Amino acid sequence: MTSHNKKERSNCVEMDDAKLPKVEGQKMIVSADEEDTRYRETTILSNINENSNGNELIYSINDRPPWYLCIMLAFQHYILAFGGIIAIPLILAEPLCVKHDNHVKSQLISTIFFVSGICTLLQTTFGTRLPILQGGTFSFITPTLAILSLPQWKCQDFETAERNGTGHNFTVDAESWQKRIREIQGAILVASTLQILLGFSGLIGFLLKFIGPLSIAPTITLIGLSLFHEAGKKCGAHWGIAALTIGLIVLFSQYLRNIALPFLTYTNGKWKIIKYPVFKLFPVLLGMCLSWLVCYILTYFDVLPKSPTHYGYAARTDINSDAISSSPWFHVPYPGQWGTPTVSLSSVLGMISGVLSSTVESVGDYYTCARLSGAPLPPTHALNRGIGMEGIGCILAGIWGTGNGTTSYSQNIAALGITKVGSRLVLQTAGVLLIILGLFGKFGAIFLTTPEPVIGGMFIVMFGMIAAVGISNLQYVDLNSSRNLFVLGFSLFSGLVIPTWLAENPGIINTGIKEIDQTLTVLLTTNMLVGGFFGCFLDNTIPGSDEERGTSAWYKQMHESKTNGSTGQSCYDLPFVTKYLRRLSWSRYIPFLPTFQMERN
């Protein structure tokens, strides 16, 4: 591939296929059957040779992998998101009083997958247009649990049954649990309007003027570091299986990534052998599947203990096997399926803290995703549109009744760096998969058999990658400066200490106003929010030159190509309408349109 074509790829330039020269290895559609066959056989191999140093992508943001690769890569993203998405309805099952009702849980699971697919398509097509998957957010879990712990929503009868040892037979009527989820729906619907306002008004883009590398680095780094406890807890269920999963993913993604395996294919009436970089494209999927297979074999021969009190029980694959038989074959979620949402002030105020935490985390995710997908750093209009679209996604989640909102998934962003595939089309395919597979309850229930240590091993690799990407933002900063070392060290350490201390001392915040206590608790127990706040505050108040802070190099890279009339950031342009918007002079004042000219001020 010529250097000219490399430059076009790095700048995310989208051109009509008919105007492209026929360069070997270029991803384009040609009319001649022989050329088409030659292309499909050589494109991946040429990419392997071109990217043998491991630093460049196999497929960048605008590239279109073959349809079969799109499906397989999309399924890998589905697998990565599965643990995080499915954990939410399982966590909410107990406070909703449906802990032992697998039918209700399968409905909640189908609903959250279905809505996550819709939100992923909206975000990748009309939002930031980055290859970023949307799913349920843990930022909403804490305020949700706080709301459901209020006296009027607590499931007193269920707690009594648990103490008496009859909890496994306890069920509640539909109205009892549905009125609880309707309260959560109402809180999400109202609180999410704040996220829409922050995005589409351009306020979040304006605030980014005060955010530099020393603000972004601790925020992104703490996304990975803050989840070490969850990863350790899952790995601790069986460290042998977790270590096997980690070892396999590392082996495939790092040591074997340049090895292409031969595959026999039938094309145009001829059998041919084509080589594909299987290990480079599917390291996580292969690692998790092989580890699951080992767990299944150990379970089949009863090597793993059958008692929940014995170490290693969580590695069994038959723990949740009953969920498959109890899940419906087909379930179509629809808006208002649990009834009309209810709204109360205390619930809305508590949920706002979750919205703010999710917003801060997502801004950092956008920068990370852009870096790993081969795109320029996102311009202001893309950030505004992305946050606004996440607000719309949360509104949809509230209307459908997932019991949660939506946010960008860090583990799927990390997969871009490991697989070296940053294609937008792959994530759009993943959105379609989420919708389709969300309609089949039994398919999702199959993955309930994935053992905890397998998920924990995947978490260690994924979140370690996120933390490393956050640290890489310090390349713009003068690390010989004692000022910068203080800002970085204090923001990182405070982002770990303060949330941990508050988590170990529940109820320590007591202002006398329950809503304020709940809001402060949620904000101060969000690691990336605490670290990002101190990093941003100290970086903007402690004297330092632009060169020392790294903002000059940061903004030079961010704004080296103007959005309006430029092809450098065309991957962030809205599909179909951008060329018409450039003819309208008033469009330059709309914060979420590609013609917005805030960068020029």
The per-residue pLDDT for range 288-335, each reduced to its tens digit, is 889 999 999 999 998 888 888 888 888 888 887 777 777 778 888 999
DSSP letters, 279-341, are HHHSHHHHHHHHHHHHHHHHHHTT-S-SSTTSTTGGG-S-TTTHHHHHS-S-----TTTT---
What is the sign of the dihedral through the CA atoms of 51, 56, 57 and 62?
A: negative
Taking the C-alpha atoms of residue 29 and residue 6, their distance in angstroms, rounded to an integer, is 18
Angle at the Cα of 385 from the Cα atoms of 380 and 386, rounded to 5 degrees: 100
**Range among 402-406, 445-449, 584-588 with highest mean pLDDT value:** 402-406
Type of residue at 421? V
Does residue 19 carry a pLDDT above 50?
A: no
For the stretch 516-564, pLDDT in tens is 887 787 678 777 778 888 998 999 999 988 888 887 776 665 554 333 3
Give CA–CA dist 275/568, Å, rounded.
33
SS3 category, 149: coil
Among 363-377, 448-462, 542-556, 559-573, the least confident range: 559-573
Q: Which residues on adjacent β-strands are paired with residue 263? A: 274
Read off the pLDDT of residues 179-233 as tens digits, 9 standing for 90 and up.
999 999 999 999 999 999 999 998 886 776 787 888 888 887 887 787 777 778 8
Buried/exposed 178-194: b ≥16 CB within 10 Å, e otherwise: bebbbbbbbbbbbbbeb
What token pair was written down for 464? 């370690």
Domain extent listing, the chain: 67-256+283-556, 562-600
- Mean pLDDT comparison of 53-67, 157-171, 478-492, highest-scoring range: 478-492
- Structure tokens given for 298: 């150990």
Rounded CA separation 176/180 (Å): 7
pLDDT for position 87? 72
Cα angle 300, 302, 306 (rounded to 5 degrees) comes to 115
Are 410 and 365 spatial neighbours (Cβ–Cβ below 8 Å)? Answer: yes
Q: Which residues, in sequence order, are CB contacts of 125 under 8 Å at separation 6+?
A: 428, 575
Query: Tokens standing for 404?
Result: 């949660």
Name the phi and psi angles at 434, rounded to 5: -60, -40
Asked if pLDDT for residue 40 goes beyond 70, the answer is no
**Greatest CA separation for the chain:** 77
Token pair for 228: 């070490």
| CA angle 213–563–592, rounded 5-degree value | 85
| Residues ≥6 apart with Cβ < 8 Å to 45 | 260, 275
Are 476 and 310 in contact by the 8 Å Cβ rule? The answer is no
Give the SS3 label for residue 179: helix
Residue type at 157 in one-letter notation: D
Pair 342, 186: CB distance under 8 Å = yes
Single-letter code of the amino acid located at 426: V
Torsion-angle region of 293 (φ positive above 0: left; ψ -120 to 50: alpha; else: beta): alpha
Question: Parallel, antiparallel, or unpaired for β 270-276 and 261-267?
Answer: antiparallel
Q: What is the pLDDT of residues 315-324, one digit of tens each?
A: 888 887 777 7
> Residue 178 to residues 93, 99, 112, 174, 389: CA-CA distances in angstroms?
12, 14, 16, 6, 27
Q: What's the mean pLDDT in 393-420?
A: 86
- What is the distance between the terminal CA atoms of the chain, rounded to a whole angstrom? 38
Structure-block tokens of residue 319: 């723990």
Give the pair of three-digit tokens for residue 461: 């690799």
- Sign, CA torsion 462/465/467/470: negative
Predicted confidence (pLDDT) per residue in 73-120, tens digit: 898 888 777 767 877 887 788 888 887 777 787 788 889 999 999 999
- Asked if 215 and 427 count as a contact pair (C-beta separation under 8 A), the reply is no
Instruction: Please name the residue that has the structure tokens 């019991």.
Output: 403
* Tokens 């993943």, located at residue: 430
**CA-wise closest residue to 142 among 111, 171, 170, 184:** 184
Residue 454 pLDDT exceeds 80:
yes
Q: Are 405 and 190 in contact (CB under 8 A)?
A: no
User: Is the per-residue pLDDT at 169 higher than 90?
Assistant: no
Based on the number of CB atoms within 10 Å of its own CB, is 153 exposed (0-12), middle (13-18) or buried (19 or more)?
middle
> Within 10 A of 296 (CB to CB), how many other CB atoms are there?
15
pTM of the model as a whole: 0.70
Helix axes 213-225, 345-372, angle to 10 degrees: 100
